Structures are given as C-alpha cells and as structure tokens.
C-alpha cells in the first residue's frame, strides 16, 4: 500500500458521524431526510414521488426492507481485514440490471420490513460479531431510514466506520445528507456509455449522474486511507465490473477515473461477471468474461496509471 495513502490512527480515532451526532446535526439531517420521502429525489431517477402514497422506481415506501445481513468476508481487502465487513443488504434498487446476481432481492424485492430500532439492532449485532465496519449495500433509496436508525445505533454503542456501497446512481441531494456521516464510499462506476446503461440497467443518463455522484463522494472523503493494519478508515473505493465484449465501456470508465480522480484512486476492477437473471436471454450478456478480456482491462488500468488495484480476484 502506498505510504502516502496510509493514515496513522490512534486510540482516539472516531468515525466521522460522532461529531455530527454530538452537535445535534445528525438528528437534523434525519428529520430533513424523512421529509424528503414526501417528494423523493434520492436517486438519479429524481421521481418526486410521495413514497407514503405510491411507489416509485425503487419500489420502496416509507419503511426499509432488509434482504439479509451478515459479516461478509468477500468484499475488498481493506474492508474485511481484521474481522469482515458488516453487510446489510437492502431489498430493491434504483437500477434494473439485466445481469443482476441478487435479483431476488434487488429486482423482485425479497426482504422484510424493519423499523429504525430494528435496523439499529442489526448494526450493533454485526459489530458485536467482529465486523470492522457497517456496510450499507444498495442503500440509496433508504437514506432517511438509515439516518433514523443510526441515531439509535450510536446510542447503543456503534463505533465502527460506515460504508456506502451503492450502484453509483445517487443524487447530490442524497449525498449532501451523508456528508460528514459516511466514512467510506464504495460506488459502482458501471457505464461510460449512456445507451449501454439504458439497455442493460434501464436507467437514463447513468454516466452523468454517476460522474456527479462519485465526484461529490471524492470531495467529501478523498482517496482511501487505511490504518496500521491496512483497514479502510476513510475515502473512496471505486468498483467497475468488467463485462464480456464491453472493452470500450471499460476504457471510458477508467479514463474518466484517471483524469478526474487521479492515480491514487483505489480501484476494484471486478472479474466476477457471470450470466444471471435475464442475461441468458441477451446475446451480449449470455456468456462469461474471458481471462483475456480481464487481462486487457488490467493492462489498460496500468497504462493509465491506475495501479492502486484491489487484488481480491475470483478468476
């Protein structure tokens, strides 16, 4: 790990959210977020729907749905060193990826409704099991519910960093609510081609929304920093899934990262694409990525100076 990216922490280190909790700002943010459910602009759809009355693209009303929660050891290394990542997977999603590997949760909405106190209890339970962070997975549409639960969780003794693990289709309004609360952003950068995003994930203007969101995440927390054990403490980790036959899309994503975020970006260049959900009925998605395609993506990253790569590979 680059020494410049290593943060020497002390026993007094605290996650970012403590300052806002102690000042009362976190409670204010939770109230502001709850009011946004009446005119929702949390994701790139910007639907403006009153979620107490009807369901928008996220298919989620006023209560969050949790699909599953467990200590996850398969995330990027800085997130799992020392005890695993406390992953809470929320049902439903603002994307409709035709290759979704968790479609029963994210597309079909399989999950159980939870109250703020129940969600807080999940955070505390994961921490008690040794999780070194709390990892909110597919969380964009439930920002208000998470902030309400966080107030209870802090009262209950939560003290580990928070990870925002999103599809990268977050609105700037949502991210403004999270400023000073989230320690580690883990966004996808799926598409550099707007038509590909529309075709494969049924979203409009993905690159523009994604670039704005990732830029704001970076403004808030900067490049990834770690402690003496190489555990993530603060910063952005960018994920990009290399897909079969989409070398130009990958090139567009990596060139944007190199130009706008720079060579110190921690990049998870993911190799685990497998056909799933509706991919088998789509000729361009129905086959696995090859070793050669992935090697080409790694070589391009190296050529662009993106050498701070996660090496938690599955191929």
Residue 173 and residue 41 in contact, taking contact as beta carbons nearer than 8 Å? yes
pTM of the model: 0.93
The closest alpha carbon to 30, from 195, 153, 169, 200, belongs to 153
Q: Tell me how many domains the chain contains.
A: 1
**Domain membership flag for residue 7:** no
Q: Please, is 171 exposed, middle or buried when counting C-beta atoms within 10 Å of its C-beta (0-12, 13-18, 19+)?
A: buried
H or E element: which one contains 253? Answer: helix 247-260
The reported pLDDT for the residue numbered 312 is 55
Indicate the pairing of strand 266-270 with strand 232-241: parallel
Q: In the predicted model, what is the mean pLDDT of residues 276-284?
A: 73
Residue 25 and residue 284 in contact, taking contact as beta carbons nearer than 8 Å? no
**Domain membership flag for residue 107:** yes
Residue 12's pLDDT band, with cuts at 50, 70 and 90, is low
For the segment 231-257, what is each residue's pLDDT rounded down to a tens digit? 999 999 999 999 999 999 999 999 999
- More confident site: 5 or 226: 226
The reported pLDDT for the residue numbered 9 is 44
* Phi, psi dihedral angles at 118 (to 5 degrees): -70, -40
The closest alpha carbon to 150, from 274, 60, 25, belongs to 25
**Domain membership flag for residue 313:** no
Which CATH number does the domain housing residue 17 bear? 3.20.20.70
Q: Could you please report the per-residue DSSP string of 119-148?
A: HHHHHHHHHHTT-SSEEEES-GGGHHHHHH
Residue 219 has pLDDT above 60, yes or no: yes
**Domain membership flag for residue 6:** no
Residue 149 has pLDDT above 50, yes or no: yes
The reported pLDDT for the residue numbered 272 is 87
Q: In the predicted model, what is the mean pLDDT of residues 277-283?
A: 74
Select, from the ranges 7-11, 52-56, 225-229, 235-239, the one with the highest average predicted confidence (pLDDT): 235-239
Mean pLDDT (the chain, rounded): 91
Indicate the pairing of strand 225-226 with strand 85-90: unpaired
For the chain, how many residues are written? 315
For the segment 47-80, what is each residue's pLDDT rounded down to a tens digit? 999 999 999 899 999 999 999 999 999 999 999 9
**Domain membership flag for residue 102:** yes
Residue 163 and residue 133 in contact, taking contact as beta carbons nearer than 8 Å? yes
H or E element: which one contains 248? Answer: helix 247-260
**Domain membership flag for residue 1:** no
For the segment 153-166, what is each residue's pLDDT rounded down to a tens digit? 999 999 999 999 99
- Would you give the DSSP letter of residue 229? T
Q: In the predicted model, what is the mean pLDDT of residues 18-42?
A: 97
The reported pLDDT for the residue numbered 276 is 67
The reported pLDDT for the residue numbered 104 is 72
**Domain membership flag for residue 314:** no
For the segment 186-216, what is each residue's pLDDT rounded down to a tens digit? 999 999 999 999 999 999 999 999 999 999 9
Residue 279's pLDDT band, with cuts at 50, 70 and 90, is low
The closest alpha carbon to 282, from 272, 273, 292, belongs to 273
Q: In the predicted model, what is the mean pLDDT of residues 254-280?
A: 89
For the segment 88-147, what is each residue's pLDDT rounded down to a tens digit? 999 999 998 787 777 677 767 688 999 999 999 999 999 999 999 999 999 999 999 999
Residue 261 has pLDDT above 60, yes or no: yes
**Domain membership flag for residue 196:** yes
The reported pLDDT for the residue numbered 100 is 73
The boundaries of the domain holding residue 271 are 13-303
Six-digit token string for 297: 């993506």
The closest alpha carbon to 132, from 79, 184, 74, belongs to 79
The reported pLDDT for the residue numbered 103 is 60
The reported pLDDT for the residue numbered 159 is 97
């Amino acid at each position: 790990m680059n020494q410049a990216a290593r943060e020497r922490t002390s026993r007094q280190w605290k996650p970012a959210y403590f300052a806002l909790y102690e000042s009362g700002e976190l409670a204010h943010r939770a109230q502001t977020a709850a009011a946004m459910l009446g005119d929702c602009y949390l994701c790139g759809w910007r639907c403006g729907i009153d979620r107490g009355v009807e369901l928008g693209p996220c298919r989620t009303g006023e209560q969050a749905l949790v699909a599953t929660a467990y200590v996850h050891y398969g995330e990027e290394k800085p997130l799992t060193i020392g005890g695993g990542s406390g992953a809470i997977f929320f049902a439903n999603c603002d994307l409709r990826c035709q290759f979704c590997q968790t479609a029963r949760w994210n597309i079909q909405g399989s999950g159980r409704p939870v109250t703020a106190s129940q969600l807080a209890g999940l955070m505390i339970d994961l921490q008690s099991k040794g999780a070194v962070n709390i990892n909110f997975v597919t969380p964009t549409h439930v920002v208000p519910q998470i902030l309400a639960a966080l107030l209870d969780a802090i009262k209950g003794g939560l003290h580990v960093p928070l990870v925002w693990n999103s599809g990268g289709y977050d609105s700037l309004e949502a991210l403004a609510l999270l400023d000073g609360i989230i320690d580690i952003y883990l966004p996808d950068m799926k598409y550099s081609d707007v038509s590909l995003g529309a075709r494969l994930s049924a979203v409009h203007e993905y690159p523009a929304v994604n670039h704005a969101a990732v830029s704001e995440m970076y403004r808030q927390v900067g490049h990834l920093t770690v402690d003496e054990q190489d555990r993530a403490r603060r910063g952005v980790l960018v994920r990009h899934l290399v897909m079969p036959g989409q070398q130009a899309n990958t090139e567009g994503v990596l060139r944007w990262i190199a130009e706008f975020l720079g060579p110190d970006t921690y990049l998870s260049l993911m190799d685990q694409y497998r056909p799933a959900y509706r991919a088998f009925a789509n000729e361009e998605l129905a086959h696995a990525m090859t070793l050669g395609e992935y090697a080409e993506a790694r070589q391009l990253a190296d050529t662009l100076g993106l050498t701070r790569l996660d090496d938690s590979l599955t191929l």
